[in-house]
Amino acid sequence: MSKIKVGVAGYGVIGQRLADGVALQGDMELVGIADLAPTLSIRALKEKGMPYNLYLVDGADKSAFDALDIPVSGTFEDLIDKVDIMLDSSPGGVGMKNKALYEAKGVKAIFQGGKKNSVADVFFHGYANYEKGVDKDYLKLTSCNTTGLIRSVDCLDRAYGIEKVAITIIRRVADPGDYHRGLTNALQMDKAPSHQAVDLMTIMPHIEATGILVHTPVTHGHIITVVATGKQKITKEMALEAFQKHPRIRVVRIDDGFKGNASLFRYARDLGNPRGDMYEIGLWEDSIVESGNDIMYAINIPQESVTIPETMDGIRAACGMQKDGAEGTAKTNEYLKIGLFK
């Protein structure tokens, strides 16, 4: 099979990580990325020697790129013409507009979590519903929190069966480097149920889910606590055994120094991971606790990088590269070197 050709629209927080993720897949080719303005990420790309070809979306001012000597390889439409599938990580409202272009050119696409579900045929998660995405044209990835949450709930569900979950999300308010949320020192409540719990039910309709979300003025990761009701009683040992086997879950301990979200971010930087990224969710062994017949635990979501592996799974499903979820996710893990530390 020749390499699947992939393009990325929107080279921001998520787009640059998607581009790097695709470049690491031995059976895919990153044709290029598209953006609107010479943002800091584009300037950094230029300073790194333009490892990826840049295409400009409608409305971009080419003279602003020329003034900075940033090479441009063509228009957004030129890029779409050259690829089998586009990864759309443009801002919230733009994806639907871009979809019309993808449809007109008969190109598949995967949209990130910020878009409406109606943008795609399938709301997708690499582990929980891979097969639903096979050979489909338009997938929408779950958001960062939902991606990590579903990884852990699906892990217990496959091992023991889960009937119900209730979650609390302690949500980082912005990404590192963002200024658009201001300089704040307050917690803010969202109306319940949180969209992540509702999204989980869309992807895993056999599980009843609800939850609360609290925004916090931090940038290095969300923390979610989950109370899960099993079809049978799940003990702490049973839960730990399942979590430890999961390639995209990193079980950590407070006594080892993993005190919270910032410890995981620092550890990723100490590993030398680009931008301090972590593809795995962190799960605290010390947080797993039984409550009657329920099991409770806490996970850390590295919001900037957590959806990258599941998006690679999405390419594999949509392009029919692997028809089976276990094979598709294993290939992604191999190329992203996920789970090697276990």
Ligand X SMILES: NC(=O)c1ccc[n+]([C@@H]2O[C@H](COP(=O)([O-])OP(=O)(O)OC[C@H]3O[C@@H](n4cnc5c(N)ncnc54)[C@H](O)[C@@H]3O)[C@@H](O)[C@H]2O)c1
By the rule CB under 6 A, 228 interacts with ligand X = no
Name the segment binding ligand X (CB under 6 A); options: 10-18, 102-110, 157-165, 288-296. Answer: 10-18
To ligand X, the closest distance from the beta carbon of 220 in angstroms equals 11
Q: What is the largest CA-CA distance in the chain?
A: 65
* Strands across the sheet containing 4-9: 74-75, 54-56, 28-35, 4-9, 85-88, 108-111, 138-141, 122-124
To ligand X, the closest distance from the beta carbon of 285 in angstroms equals 26
Within 8 A by CB and 6+ apart from 326, the residues are none
By the rule CB under 6 A, 77 interacts with ligand X = no
By the rule CB under 6 A, 12 interacts with ligand X = yes
By the rule CB under 6 A, 143 interacts with ligand X = yes
Q: How many residues bind ligand X (CB under 6 A)?
A: 29
Site for ligand X (CB under 6 A): which residue of 6, 14, 165, 336? 14
Q: Which residue is nearest to ligand X (CB)?
A: 12
Of the candidates 334, 331, 297, 306, the residue with the CA atom closest to the CA atom of residue 130: 331
Report CA-CA distances (Å) from 65 to 49, 55, 143, 197.
15, 11, 31, 42
Residue span 171-190 as binding mask against ligand X, x where in contact by CB under 6 A, dash where not:
----x---------------
Of the candidates 226, 316, 260, 308, the residue with the CA atom closest to the CA atom of residue 1: 316
Read off the tokens for 217.
Answer: 């003025």
Instruction: Tell me which of 144, 213, 295, 317 is the catalytic residue.
Output: 144
Name the segment binding ligand X (CB under 6 A); options: 47-55, 83-91, 242-250, 311-319. Answer: 83-91
Judged by beta carbon, residue 257 or residue 274, the one nearer ligand X is 274
Distance CA 267, CA 276 (A): 8
Site for ligand X (CB under 6 A): which residue of 32, 113, 133, 211? 113
Q: Are 243 and 249 in contact (CB under 8 A)?
A: yes
By the rule CB under 6 A, 92 interacts with ligand X = yes
To ligand X, the closest distance from the beta carbon of 322 in angstroms equals 24
To ligand X, the closest distance from the beta carbon of 338 in angstroms equals 18
Rg of the chain over all Cα atoms, to the nearest angstrom: 20
Cis peptide before 205 (omega within 30 of 0): no
By the rule CB under 6 A, 89 interacts with ligand X = yes
To ligand X, the closest distance from the beta carbon of 171 in angstroms equals 10
By the rule CB under 6 A, 144 interacts with ligand X = yes
Active site residue 155: no
Residues 266-305 binding ligand X (CB under 6 A) are 303-304
Judged by beta carbon, residue 114 or residue 320, the one nearer ligand X is 114
Name the segment binding ligand X (CB under 6 A); options: 12-20, 163-171, 212-220, 287-295. Answer: 12-20
Active-site positions read 144
State the residues that interact with ligand X by CB under 6 A. Answer: 9-15, 34-37, 39, 41, 57, 89-92, 94, 112-115, 143-144, 175, 303-304, 307
